[in-house]
Chain A
Amino acid sequence: MTPNLNLWLIPILPLAGAAINGFFGKKSSRTAVSTIALVFCGAAFVWALSVAWRFSSLPEIPHQEYLAHWIRSGSFVADFAFYLDPLSLVMLLVVTGVGFLIHIYSVGYMWDDPGYYRFFSYLNLFMFFMLTLVLANNYLVMFIGWEGVGLASYLLIGFWFTKDSAASAGKKAFIVNRIGDFGFLIGLFLLIQHFPSLNFTDVFEGVPRLTPGAGTETLLTTVGILLMIGACGKSAQIPLYVWLPDAMEGPTPVSALIHAATMVTAGVYMVARSHVIFERAPIALTVVAIIGTLTALFAATIGITQTDIKKVLAYSTVSQLGYMFMACGVGAFSAGIFHLMTHAFFKGLLFLAAGSVIHAVGGEQDMRKMGGLRSYIPWTFLTMGTATLAIAGIPPFAGFWSKDEILWKAYQQNWVYWLIGVITAFITSFYMFRLLFMTFWGDYHGIQVDAHGRVHAAHGDDGHGEPHESPMVMLVPLMILAVLSLVGGWVGIGNRFEHFLAPVFGSGEVAEAGKEAATNFTEYLLMGVSVLVAALGAILAWVLYVSKPYLPQKIADGFGSFYEAVLNKYYVDELYAALFVKPLVDGSTRILWQGVDRKVIDDSINDAADGARHVSDNVRHMQSGNLRSYAGWIAAGSAAVIAYMIWLGVGR
Chain B
Amino acid sequence: MVPLSYYLVLSGILFACGVTGFLIKRNIITIFMSIELMLNGVNLSFVAFAAHWHALAGQVFVFFVMVVAAAEAAVGLAIIIAVYRTRETLNVDQVNLLKL
List residues of A whose CB falls within 8 A of some B CB: 620, 623-628, 631-632, 635
Contact = CB atoms under 8 A, between A and B. Distances in A.
B98 A635 contact: no
B23 interface: yes
Contacts of B97: 625
Contacts of B31: 627
A624 B22 contact: no
Interface stretch (B1-9, B66-74, B88-96): B88-96
Given A632-B23, A635-B19, A627 B95 contact: yes
Contact of B99 (A626, A632, A635): A626
Nearest to B100: A620
A631 B23 contact: yes
B99 A625 contact: yes
A631 B93 CA distance: 12
A623 B100 contact: yes
A642 to B, nearest CB: 11
A626 B96 contact: yes
A635 B21 CA distance: 12
Nearest to A627: B92
Most chain B CB neighbours (cut-off 10 Å) among A620, A623, A628, A635: A628
A623 B100 CA distance: 7
B92 A628 contact: yes
Interface string B51-67: 00000000000000000
A628 B34 CA distance: 12
A626 B92 CA distance: 7
A621 to B, nearest CB: 8
Contacts of B19: 635
A626 B93 contact: yes
Interface string B8-41: 0000000000010011001000010000000000
Nearest to B97: A625
A646 to B, nearest CB: 13
A628 B19 CA distance: 11
A272 B100 CA distance: 76
A623 B96 CA distance: 10
Contacts of A625: 96-100
Contacts of B93: 626-628
Given A624-B99, A625-B98, A626-B93, 19 more contacts: A623-B99, A623-B100, A624-B96, A625-B96, A625-B97, A625-B99, A625-B100, A626-B99, A627-B31, A627-B92, A627-B93, A627-B95, A628-B22, A628-B23, A628-B93, A631-B22, A635-B19, A635-B22, A635-B23
A632 B97 CA distance: 18
A625 B99 CA distance: 4
Contacts of A632: 23
A118 to B, nearest CB: 56
Nearest to B98: A625
B84 to A, nearest CB: 15
A625 B97 CA distance: 6
A637 to B, nearest CB: 12
Contacts of A635: 19, 22-23
A626 B97 CA distance: 9
Contacts of B96: 624-627
B29 to A, nearest CB: 13
A586 to B, nearest CB: 48
Contacts of A620: 100
A364 to B, nearest CB: 72
A508 to B, nearest CB: 87
6 contacts: A623-B98, A624-B96, A624-B99, A627-B95, A628-B93, A635-B19
B39 to A, nearest CB: 15
Nearest to B92: A627
Closest 5 interchain pairs by CB?
Answer: A625-B99, A625-B96, A627-B92, A625-B98, A620-B100
